[in-house]
Structure 1
Amino acid sequence: MVLVYKTWVIVVLLLLSFFVKRKEQQQYTLHGYAQGTDYSIKYYAESPLVSVAEVDSILLKIDSSMSLYKPYSLISKFNNATKALSIDAHFLCVINKSFEVYKATDGRFDITVAPLVQAWGFGPKPITVFPDSARIKELLKNVGMNLLEVKGNELFKKQPGVRIDLNGIAQGYSVDVVADYLLHKGITCFVVEIGGEIRMKGPKPDGTALRVGIEGPALNELSEPQIRHVISFKEGAVTTSGNYRKYLQAGGKKISHLINPKTGYPLDNQLISVTIFAKDALTADGYDNAVMAMSVEQALEFVSAKKNMEAYLIYHRKDGSVTDTLTAGFKKMIVN
Structure 2
Amino acid sequence: MDRRVLLPTALAPLTPPMNGEQLHTLHGLTMGTSWTVKLVAPAGFPRAQAQAGIQATLDRVVREMSQWEADSDLARFNRADAGSRHALPAGFAEVLGCALDVAHASDGAFDPSVGELVALWGFGPAGARTEPPPAPALAAARARCGWQKLDFDARKAKALQPGGLHLDFSGIAKGFGVDEVARHLAERGVESYLVEVGGELRGLGVKPNGQPWWVALETPPGADDATPTAQTIVALHGLAVASSGDYRRYFEHAGQCYAHTLDPRSGWPVAHACAQVSVVGTSCMWADAQATALTVLGLEAGMAYAQEHDIAALFLLREGAGFREIATPALQAMAAP
TM-score (norm 2): 0.86
Structure 2 CA distance for aligned equivalents of residues 244 and 26 of structure 1: 37
Residue of structure 2 in register with 1:89 after alignment:
90
**Secondary structure in 1 aligned to 2:263?**
coil
1:24 to 20, 32, 53: 20
CA contact 2:214–2:236 (8 Å) conserved in 1 = yes
Structure 1 CA distance for aligned equivalents of residues 294 and 145 of structure 2: 19
**Secondary structure in 1 aligned to 2:313?**
strand
CA offset digits 1:9-54 (Å, max 9, x no partner): xxxxxxxxxxxxx742110000111111000000111242552211
How much does 1:141 deviate? 0.9
Structure 2 CA distance for aligned equivalents of residues 30 and 127 of structure 1: 33
Q: Please state if 1:155 is matched with 2:159.
A: yes
Change (3 A) 1:301 1:326: same
**Secondary structure in 1 aligned to 2:180?**
helix
Structure possessing the higher radius of gyration over alpha carbons: 1
How much does 1:300 deviate? 2.3
Residue of structure 1 in register with 2:65 after alignment:
66
How much does 1:188 deviate? 1.2
Structure-to-structure mapping, 1:90-239, within 5 angstroms: 90-127=91-128, 130-151=132-153, 152-158=156-162, 160-217=163-220, 228-239=231-242
Structure-to-structure mapping, 1:266-305, within 5 angstroms: 266-305=269-308
Structure 2 CA distance for aligned equivalents of residues 202 and 306 of structure 1: 27
How much does 1:182 deviate? 0.9
Change (3 A) 1:153 1:233: closer
Q: Which 5+ residue runs of structure 2 have no aligned equivalent?
A: 1-17
CA contact 1:216–1:227 (8 Å) conserved in 2 = no
Structure-to-structure mapping, 1:220-259, within 5 angstroms: 228-259=231-262
CA offset digits 1:61-109 (Å, max 9, x no partner): 1111101111111111011101332211010000100110001001111
Structure 2 CA distance for aligned equivalents of residues 227 and 217 of structure 1: 14
CA contact 2:178–2:201 (8 Å) conserved in 1 = yes
CA contact 2:239–2:281 (8 Å) conserved in 1 = yes
CA offset digits 1:166-201 (Å, max 9, x no partner): 111011011000001111111111100000000111
| CA-based RMSD | 2.3
CA contact 1:219–1:322 (8 Å) conserved in 2 = no
How much does 1:314 deviate? 0.3
**Secondary structure in 1 aligned to 2:34?**
strand
Structure 2 CA distance for aligned equivalents of residues 30 and 334 of structure 1: 31
Structure 2 CA distance for aligned equivalents of residues 127 and 210 of structure 1: 37
Structure 2 CA distance for aligned equivalents of residues 256 and 211 of structure 1: 30
CA contact 1:203–1:234 (8 Å) conserved in 2 = yes
Structure 2 CA distance for aligned equivalents of residues 327 and 261 of structure 1: 24
Residue of structure 2 in register with 1:48 after alignment:
45
Q: Which 5+ residue runs of structure 1 have no aligned equivalent?
A: 1-21
TM-score (norm 1): 0.86
Change (3 A) 1:198 1:233: closer
Structure 2 CA distance for aligned equivalents of residues 143 and 278 of structure 1: 29
Structure 2 CA distance for aligned equivalents of residues 323 and 124 of structure 1: 34
**Secondary structure in 2 aligned to 1:29?**
strand
CA contact 2:245–2:295 (8 Å) conserved in 1 = yes
Identity %: 26
